[in-house]
Amino acid sequence: MSLTIPFDNSYARLPDTFFARQAPVPVRAPHLVAFNEELAQILRVTPGEVEDMAQTFAGNTLPEGAEPIAQLYSGHQFGTYNPQLGDGRAVLLGETVGTDGVRRDIQLKGSGQTPFSRRGDGRAWLGPVLREYVVSEAMHALGIPTTRALAAVETGEIVLREGPMPGAVLTRVAQSHLRVGTFQVFAGRRQVDNLKKLTEYAIARHYPQADGPMGLLRAVRDAQAQLISQWMSVGFIHGVMNTDNSSIAGETIDYGPCAFMDSYHPNTVYSSIDRMGRYAYSNQPDIAVWNLAQLATSLIQQVEDPESAVEEATEIVHAMPGLIQQHWLTRFRAKIGLTTEDEGDEALITDLLTRMAHNNADFTNTFRALGRDNARDQFLTPQAFDEWAKGWTERLTREQNPQAVMNAANPAFIPRNHRVEQMIQAAVQGDYEPFHRLNTVLARPYEDQPEAADLTHPPTENEVVHATFCGT
Ligand code: AMP
Ligand code: MG
């Protein structure tokens, strides 16, 4: 059998100004290290010989029907507008319509220079490729919208980062790679026709029920509000919530120096480049609103009557914090076993979080333990939990089956940062056993898997990862 991908491309039909036609740059000695068969089935991709797949997913051979392009976009990076970014180390091979009827992009990341590479080498090293593979698949298993990983190859070449590192290419799959920054680039250049075409395209592809630019804005807001509340509910920190990393489809995209929190603290930051803590855990809702405001500003430039559009856009954006808060409350209610609503619930939840922060309580393990009656062990001072638990136990008397609710809302397994780092170090030495083990266990995050209990442990002092480095 040979590898086939039933491409059905739409982005490559848009005007030439939307992208640069760019083939992936071949690599020396590709070696397939991962292939996601379950995802391949959804995409209608037929796997082929391992060697064939290595050549294709490295970008050395183009599968029939591929129309490789590097997409144009711009964006605010850490709050500062960069008028042109674009795929500097990625090419979109094309799209498929899956068995579920969903159109998805298939993109190679780390596939060589493009016209948008600026000073970059267009490459990726193995570490960030495997990190994105594991974390994006774990995210999917947690039930959180995300790009996914179809394949990973080692290129047999060295890339220079902090030192010489093994090169790699990730094949990633997204509902699309449209970003807030894709709208910003045309708005910034006052290319109203392109902006209109892009808006129509985004609506047709993602939100066919949306009515015009303001309908699109509302739909993106709703999707992003859900997404951010889901991140918060599992302790995920994206790390680089720039507008070019903010997906119109509402998926988690562009995994860089991201991480899941171990012990809970609202100000947690992992990214080595986020020195001011702009993208700290608890800032993520505000940043999502800020990013939506940038989308609003861009979309408005195509409307006939800007005054009333500004009013409508303002109202849409201003409603976002309340929406995130509402979703947050629903999710955290479930995390403490509540399905009914009571006025005091929010205070009960924030009181628990405050106590967790003061007691170095592990975010994931504390919530998981709530459904098992041993959460107090997670607190430096267990009495701090006991005091809280009085009100909680009282509140639970009005619930039917809180244990089941908590177990479905609180994962046992997340991709802990120290495990991800250990996995990368092993892979660099040629040992892929930890990589495969993480993928297997993280595919069922809500199930107790006693044989994998070690993966639930927070890092020891020696294992703590203080900073996570970017993919670049
Ligand atoms: P990211 O950090 O993935 O959001 O990337 C921000 C921008 O930098 C995007 O336009 C990337 O394509 C570009 N970029 C990141 N790393 C590289 C690289 N190694 N070579 C070329 N461009 C890069
Ligand atoms: Mg990016």
Q: 22 in a domain, yes or no?
A: yes
Quick one: pLDDT at residue 472? 54
What whole-number distance in Å separates Cα of residue 264 and Cα of residue 366?
9
Residues of the chain with pLDDT under 70: 470-472
Q: Closest by alpha carbon to 201, among 148, 210, 68? A: 210
Q: For ligand 1, atom 6, name the residue with the nearest CA.
A: 85
Per residue in 211-226, pLDDT tens? Answer: 999 999 999 999 999 9
Residue keyed to tokens 């899941």:
260
Quick one: pLDDT at residue 463? 93
The Å distance, Cα 254 to ligand 2 centre, comes to 5
Coil, strand or helix at 101 = coil
Instruction: Tell me the two tokens of residue 293.
Output: 């405001």
Quick one: pLDDT at residue 470? 61
Q: 39 in a domain, yes or no?
A: yes
Pocket test for ligand 1, best of 89, 113, 132, 247 (most atoms within 8 A of CB): 89
Q: 201 in a domain, yes or no?
A: no
Please say whether the beta carbons of 413 and 442 come within 8 A: yes
Q: 450 in a domain, yes or no?
A: no
Q: 264 in a domain, yes or no?
A: no
Per residue in 147-170, pLDDT tens? Answer: 999 999 999 999 999 899 999 999
Domain end among 174, 201, 217: 174
Quick one: pLDDT at residue 162? 87
Per residue in 102-138, pLDDT tens? Answer: 999 999 999 999 999 999 999 999 999 999 999 999 9
Q: 162 in a domain, yes or no?
A: yes
The Å distance, Cα 75 to ligand 1 centre, comes to 12
Domains: count for the chain: 2
- DSSP assignment letter at 170: E
Domain that holds residue 378: 330-409
For ligand 1, residues with CB inside 6 Å are 85-89, 116-117, 120-123, 240, 244-245, 254, 256, 470, 472
Percent of the chain with pLDDT over 90: 96
Q: 315 in a domain, yes or no?
A: no
Instruction: Tell me the two tokens of residue 231.
Output: 């991140």
Domain end among 152, 174, 196: 174
Q: Residue 193 catalytic?
A: no
Select which of 52, 87, 222, 244 is catalytic.
Answer: 244
Query: What is the reported pTM?
Result: 0.98
Domain end among 158, 174, 190: 174
For residue 313, the cross-strand partners are: none
Q: 286 in a domain, yes or no?
A: no
Residue keyed to tokens 């006052």:
190
